[in-house]
Structure 1
Amino acid sequence: MANRAHLFTDADNTLWDTDAVFAAAQLEMLRDMERRTGHNAPDDEDRGLAFLRIIDQRIAAVHPDHLRYPPALLAQGLALVLAGKDIAEVVEHVTRPDTKIAGGFAQVQGQFLESLKRIPPLREGVRAGLKAVSAVHVPITIVTEERPERCQSLLAEHGLDSLVTEVISVRKSVEVYLELKRKAGCERCFMVGDQLDRDVQSAAVAGFLAFYFPGGFQPYWVTEMHASSIRRIARFDEIVAEVVAS
């Protein structure tokens, strides 16, 4: 007998707080660049994280690899902006195809990438929510744009791998969600995610009941989007009542 419901969920910043790991690594990079340059970022309650992320997002917006650009470019950009250079000019400089990465910045990049290997903590309600959904035999599929091996590894680290039916790595779009819904063959498909465009709005257009679980990071391309008509949740397990009632 076919399942009446199927839960799909994003992973990074939805199941686990990837942003917390990135924020810690970024602040370590900023402190390092402050020591190297002798200049400090603005002194505020987030210890300069907003200052860094303005530069980060400006670089990502124009670099061909977007958010996957080499972290050494951020280190170099931070050094220049800390020294008083204009952000627009700095971004133009570090994103040129012929930009050379100096040895010191390559070293900072290596430390940053090492820091990103830390295990991100689960977000609120994730363990309880996945257990409750799995207990009523609703299949759970993770839809991620990251490497599936990394996702499987983190599921195992958190002891959640036995609860998840499948991990799918794909660039999310309305067409992808339509195909996932067709393959699931369910009366009701649910999607949970932290990104309004790729996780929530695309899924909703494809006929999913979509939940917006906002995290600590919003990329540059969704800052102007509105979520007034989207179901927001503050904890992952807020979805359970509706999913199990299906």
Structure 2
Amino acid sequence: LIVGCDPKADSTRLILNSKAQDTVLHLAAKEGSVEDLEVEDVLKVGYKGIKCVESGGPEPGVGCAGRGVITSINFLEENGAYDDVDYVSYDVLGDVVCGGFAMPIRENKAQEIYIVMSGEMMALYAANNIAKGILKYAHSGGVRLGGLICNERQTDRELDLAEALAAKLNSKLIHFVPRDNIVQHAELRKMTVIQYAPDSKQAAEYRALAEKIHANSGQGTIPTPITMDE
């Protein structure tokens, strides 16, 4: 099960081979309230039987986007969406801008957080910020930092930077995903790389990443964020 926790609602579209799906908040607004929804309304099944939900967000300039995440996760729990799944992945907005987005961390919904970053300065800054958020809840709940995943942007010494930040955060670089235009080719066809080109080098990278995450279960750490000066 993948729960998209981003107002853009684009976490699951390639798995569903479609444009962005209807979100929990959008459907709730249409029906009157979340109580009027059925799980079938918001949970769609995509490629290889992957279940997909998008929490969505309010209209731009109105309300709190993080609220959608809280509403959605509560709704899914109350309606048995978590029964009979192997994994639950929350795709959360990278800049932890408010408590709502941090809900999977805060409410003990997630065991491990993997931070997707690159060698660009703002990505390193955001990764450190997320580590601060994990640290805040690590002692009260069981959440841990699983590791960093570097999504290559082809900046100078990117691998070195990613490994150095991971070490500073008391974590590790789980995988370095090389940049490849096949990602855009697949996206244009509304597919994931694994569906579009299962035998490609990039598909092998994603499989290797998945295996590393699986093998890393339970080995997360409590992060040690760095100061701005560092």
Q: Fold-level match, TM-score > 0.5?
A: no
Q: Hey, which of these two has a bigger chunk of helix by percent?
A: 1
TM-score (norm 1): 0.32
The structure with the larger Rg is: 1
TM-score between both structures, scaled by the size of structure 2: 0.33
